Amino acid sequence: MKKMLTNKQISEKARGIYRRYWGQGLVLHFYLLFVLMLILATARVFELLYSSGTPPFNYIKQYVPRSTRFAFLGLVGAVMVMFIYIPTTYMLRRYFIGMISSYKISTTRQFFGANLPATNAISIKCAAAMLFLKICTLLPAALSSYIVYRCAFVARLENLSKLVLIVFMLSLGFTLVWLGFWIKYCISLSLTRYIVTLSPKMNIFDACDLSCRIMDSKHLLFISFWVYNLRYLVLCVLVFPISLALPFVKISYTLFVKELLGQYWQDKYPLMIERWRRRSAAHI
């Protein structure tokens, strides 16, 4: 089995790639910043329309409960993140994979332009499936934390009987332990987005299962990578603008994921692009 590169070796390799593609990485992160600003500006527009009382927002303001209004605005924000931000990050992830694999970014851009609905659907399905799994696994901790809240802040600790106090302590301990397991599970799913990006036709839940199997006993490696690179990122920010440091960290993380995947790093996009180009040439 091939030995993984250390964090220092990954950083050195990323520097070589960054020297060749720093301009493209900078453009990609400015594009991501533009998307985030667009989402924030749209949310601000909704807030101003609601405050102005313009129809139909005046009816919402009068007849809809305050908590429901916040839920509505939260739903609008979630929809914008799901349908704008998630596809954008999927596209950027694909570009950074192309950087470390020395693919032509122009060809990838043409492929995305011709197959935008399909690639957007893949990214949204992947994000929705991962969110569903994370919420489902977090539910036990949410229920036990609600018991802790009821005991500590509603019933008051000084008024609890011994039995209820035991339930409170057990719920508190269960919540902390389950949160630890949940964080570990989230780390185990961290490779799913890259697996789906490399193999878009792969079943998303199979990708989640593969990510968990690959990340088995590698959680400390994942944490050590981010501790190493966040320290480096802070040093970069003190000297360079953060927009120059972020593409380097993204390249480093893509290389780290490639090391973790090992033999499972099987990029299907070159074949997909080649088939697309042949079909496009045949229609001309």
Domain assignment present for residue 4? The answer is no
d(CA 179, CA 182): 5
Q: For the chain, how far is it from start to end, CA to CA, in angstroms? A: 47
Please report the sign of the dihedral spanned by the C-alpha atoms of residue 186, residue 191, residue 193, residue 199: negative
Domain assignment present for residue 59? The answer is yes
Domain assignment present for residue 284? The answer is no
Domain assignment present for residue 16? The answer is no
Domain assignment present for residue 2? The answer is no
**Where in the sequence is the domain holding 251, given as residue range(s)?**
24-279
Domain assignment present for residue 149? The answer is yes
Domain assignment present for residue 228? The answer is yes
pLDDT tens by residue, 41-50: 887 887 777 7
d(CA 223, CA 5): 15
Report how many domains make up the chain: 1
Domain assignment present for residue 9? The answer is no
Provide the residue-wise pLDDT of the chain in tens; the chain has 284 residues.
Answer: 567 888 889 989 998 998 888 888 888 888 888 988 888 888 788 777 776 666 666 666 666 666 566 776 777 788 888 888 999 999 889 889 888 887 767 777 777 777 778 888 999 999 999 999 999 999 999 999 988 888 777 666 556 677 777 888 898 899 999 999 999 999 999 999 999 998 888 899 999 999 999 999 899 999 999 988 877 667 666 665 566 778 888 899 999 999 999 888 887 777 777 776 677 666 65
